[in-house]
Amino acid sequence: MDLNADFSQRAAVHAAQLDWTPSPMPGVDRRMLDRIGGEVARATSIVRYAPDSAFSAHTHTGGEEFFVLEGVFQDEHGDFPAGTYVRNPPGSRHTPGSAPGCTIFVKLWQFAPGDPTFARIDTTKMRFVPDPERAGVGVLPLFADGREDVVLEHWDAGADVRLDAPGGLEALVLEGGFTENGEDFAVQSWLRLPKGAGTTVTAGPEGARVWIKRDHLREAPAAPAA
């Protein structure tokens, strides 16, 4: 499957308006944002676990990165409530599920080969730091390694925020919303800018809290090797 697979182009998906699509595992549904490949794919999705649902144990050959949007995600490593950012590097293994149910934003097969970095970050216990170069913007760093930079950003109500993407950029709305080129982005709306692009967005009347990844699209993504 190819979905928003031309990474030289801007892409936008308002996921909250999409129907849920069943996964191969009962009780686990998804809204696909971009995808290259079959059931094993380089994929960006929003995934919903019904209460008491689970996946069987599996290894993330290409790594897994996710942010818990609602509920509590669980595996043998712990309970991860809404606001938790997790990185499971290539070769890591777990048995994911959720007794109370949860919704996560997840990216698969997007790690650098050999990246060993685990992350388990409860962002609800961290503070945003004002960005000295952009008025009305607070930043909460999550991960950076020279290949990519992942942050949460808080934008004040009505703030005009410049998003430059020399190495590409993705943004997912967690709270509030913004407008970009006349298009409204609400909770679960996703925007991807190709490398070399840039845009200015305007935060809505409630402001916005946004998950952002930068600089990870310098090279054209490909499907996982069979």
Token code pair at residue 49: 């676990």
Q: How many domains does the chain have?
A: 2
Which of 100, 122, 144 is the endpoint of a domain? 122
The separation between the first and the last C-alpha atoms of the chain, rounded to the nearest angstrom, is 14
Whether 183 and 95 share a structural domain: no
Residue 97 domain boundaries: 2-122
Residue for token digits 């390694």?
145
Tell me the pTM: 0.96
Residue 16 domain flag: yes
CA distance 45 to 104: 8
pLDDT on residue 127: 97
Which amino acid, one-letter code, is at 154? H
Domain boundary among 67, 102, 122: 122
Q: CB–CB of 221/42 below 8 Å? A: yes
Residue 220 lies in a domain: no
Q: Which residue has the tokens 């290539």?
A: 90
Length of the chain: 226
Digit-coded pLDDT (tens) for 15-59: 999 999 999 999 999 999 999 998 889 999 999 999 999 988 889
Boundary-marking domain end, from 98, 122, 146 = 122
Residues 37, 133: one domain?
A: no
pLDDT of amino acid 114: 84
Asked if 115 and 63 touch (Cβ cutoff 8 Å), the reply is yes
Write the burial class of residue 201 (CB in 10 Å: 0-12 exposed, 13-18 middle, 19+ buried): buried
184, amino acid identity: D
Position 12 scores a pLDDT of 98
Arithmetic mean of pLDDT over the chain:
96
* CA 190 to chain centroid: 9
Backbone angles phi, psi at 124, to 5 degrees: -70, -15
Longest Cα–Cα distance in the chain:
47
Cβ neighbours around 100 below 10 Å, total: 14
Band (pLDDT 50/70/90 cuts) for residue 226 is low
State whether 146 and 194 are in the same domain: yes
How high is the pLDDT of residue 225?
Answer: 75
Q: 77 versus 85: which is more confidently predicted?
A: 85
Note whether 114 and 195 are same-domain residues: no
Dist CA 117 CA 94 (whole Å) = 15
Band of pLDDT at residue 113, cut at 50, 70 and 90 = confident
124-162 pLDDT, tens digit each: 999 999 999 999 999 999 999 989 999 999 999 999 999
Structural tokens at position 52: 């008491």
> 38 versus 85: which is more confidently predicted?
85
Backbone angles phi, psi at 125, to 5 degrees: -105, 10
State the burial class of residue 169 (Cβ atoms within 10 Å of its Cβ: 0-12, 13-18, 19+).
Answer: buried
